[in-house]
Structure 1
């Protein structure tokens, strides 16, 4: 089930944030993620967070800053089970358009977002990591249809 973030979720989702980032971004030194842990945790109150939980186990979450997907993370043991799609579908239901950045080398995530209807707008270099990242957007088809009617 998807539910809103509760303050008591903070430590658990930050652990998930760190583990998932280190695992998914082997091309970036793990210290980068560890060094950003506290600043990301401080930003949690500014984001809209949705938690995916089953049997009282948090399995993933998505963080939004308005229509910007600041991040989506699914615990390694629960990946490839449709949780990311459910979280993304929830975000799509709440927004008529979405934007995100994803590292080009994170091919699994890039393919996932393309499959889910996102398009690549452009590439840029992340100044903090030196890695190429893609800016991707999704626009609701219903919104386009309604605008043309």
Structure 2
């Protein structure tokens, strides 16, 4: 079941985030992720709209949205490959007409996942906190048409 997160979910969300971050980002020193936990708890999660995937009373994944920015999508490593990330991303797409995100370039699995679900690379940069190269990606929902100004009409 996907539902909006409550303050009581914070510890479980942080556990998912830390476990998944350590696994997916092994090119970043583990100490970095451990040091970021309090910032996540005090600053990032309260600023976001957070949705969790709960199965059998256990939070297995979550998304965090800040306006049209997909700030986080994480699934516990032992729960991956079960459609949780896909379901969470589908929820984000239902909530927003367009989405943008940043992902580490070396996180091939995540880059492939987002491309598979309609995201395109829009820019490249460097994450200021880690110094790692990152990709900016964007999604525009189907049926959403761009409006072009006709010149000379």
Shared topology, TM-score over 0.5? yes
The alignment's TM-score, normalised by the length of structure 2, stands at 0.92
In the alignment, which residue of structure 2 is the partner of 1:51? 52
* Cα root mean square deviation, aligned: 1.2
Return the alpha-carbon distance in structure 1 between the equivalents of residues 131 and 46 of structure 2.
Answer: 28
In the alignment, which residue of structure 2 is the partner of 1:34? 34
Unaligned runs of 5+ in 2: 149-153
Q: Which runs of 4+ in 1 moved over 3 A?
A: none
- Look at both structures and tell me which one has the larger radius of gyration over its CA atoms: 2
Give matches, 1:127-142, under 5 Å: 127-142=128-143
Return the alpha-carbon distance in structure 2 between the equivalents of residues 54 and 91 of structure 1.
Answer: 19
Return the alpha-carbon distance in structure 2 between the equivalents of residues 125 and 45 of structure 1.
Answer: 25
Give matches, 1:4-83, under 5 Å: 4-43=4-43, 44-83=45-84
Return the alpha-carbon distance in structure 1 between the equivalents of residues 34 and 100 of structure 2.
Answer: 25
Return the alpha-carbon distance in structure 2 between the equivalents of residues 64 and 57 of structure 1.
Answer: 21
Unaligned runs of 5+ in 1: none
Return the alpha-carbon distance in structure 2 between the equivalents of residues 115 and 17 of structure 1.
Answer: 22
The alignment's TM-score, normalised by the length of structure 1, stands at 0.95
Q: Please state which structure has a larger fraction of its residues in helix.
A: 1
Length, aligned pairs only? 147
1:87-124 deviation digits (Å, cap 9, x = unpaired): 00000001000000000100000000000000001110
The Cα shift of 1:16 comes to 1.1
Return the alpha-carbon distance in structure 1 between the equivalents of residues 142 and 23 of structure 2.
Answer: 33
